[in-house]
Amino acid sequence: MADFSVQSSEKAIGVFDSGLGGLTCVSELMKLMPSENIIYFGDTARVPYGTRSKETILEYARQDVNFIKSFDVKMIIAACGTVSSVVGKQKDFAGDVPFTGVVIPAVQAACAATRNGRIGVIGTAATIRSGAYGKAIRNIRQDAVVIGNACTMFVPMVENGITDKNDIVVKEMIKRYLEPIRRENVDVLILGCTHYPILHEAIAEYMGEDVRLISSGAEAAKFTMNMLAGKNMLSERTESGKVSYYTSDSKELFEANAHAFIGSRLMGEVTQISIDDIIQK
């Protein structure tokens, strides 16, 4: 097993997603560890991943990981519920670089939060089809009842800025996808895609105040902080870290929409790359 402790604590944390959703994880990383440098790649030219086959998702994920690894990072986060579900527990998916997806961190938080053992999960079609969240939940709590539903239109809605809780499209889609879960009396709902926290207000209002929402991206950020701390790999710099953004589609669209995910004005340079650049890494 590789000795991760020998790696420089001052290297960046790498984060990737199929689009902009992983920025919700980046936002949490910046709050928890403001001195860390972060490399973010959003594969916006191929979003969404959730409607693709398992083989295609794995191919894209390997290409994304290799691109991130080209920056010599100290850890990689697959801030994508679809990739995390398909990759499963392969902690060595990034080779000798520490790696985590969003499934295990979110599941651990959900199992700790539930009172009645009834846990809802929403994600892309590929995520729900994989059954990864249900398997992980029952590994921790065998008596848990897991109710999942694929929310196919959520990612396209979010990527196109259709997120206002009062928007008629948002209301209709929320009702269509969440009604089967709400009637099952869940008390915890895992937002199994990092795009979904952008719909947090609308989802929370529909589910009611007795249902706790778990953001998979935010939980992955907490998991990363604890993991790096345990390996003595947290940055020791005193100044604020830098965030570098890479996108496989329009730089202008990335810059225009990213603020909704990052929670503030985008700080850091955005670079557009081609799919060929990713494949060749």
> Please, are residues 60 and 279 in contact by the beta-carbon 8 Å criterion?
no
- The closest of 151, 133, 143, 270 to 206, measured between CA atoms, is 151
Radius of gyration of the chain (CA): 18
Q: Which two tokens stand for residue 268?
A: 């850091």
Strands (E), 111-218: 118-123, 145-150, 188-191, 212-215
Would you call 146 helix, strand, or coil by DSSP? strand
What span, in angstroms and rounded, lies between the C-alpha atoms of 197 and 126? 19
What span, in angstroms and rounded, lies between the C-alpha atoms of 271 and 266? 13
Give the angle subtended at the CA of 191 by the CAs of 187 and 194, to the nearest 5°. Answer: 160
25 to each of 40, 153, 221, how far by Cα in Å? 10, 21, 6
Catalytic residues: 80, 193
Listed in sequence order, the DSSP H helices in 160-215 are 168-182, 200-207
Q: Which two tokens stand for residue 101?
A: 């997806």
Q: Which two tokens stand for residue 33?
A: 């560890």
154 to each of 61, 84, 216, 250, 256, how far by Cα in Å? 21, 18, 15, 21, 19
Burial of 146 (0-12, 13-18, 19+ CB in 10 A): buried
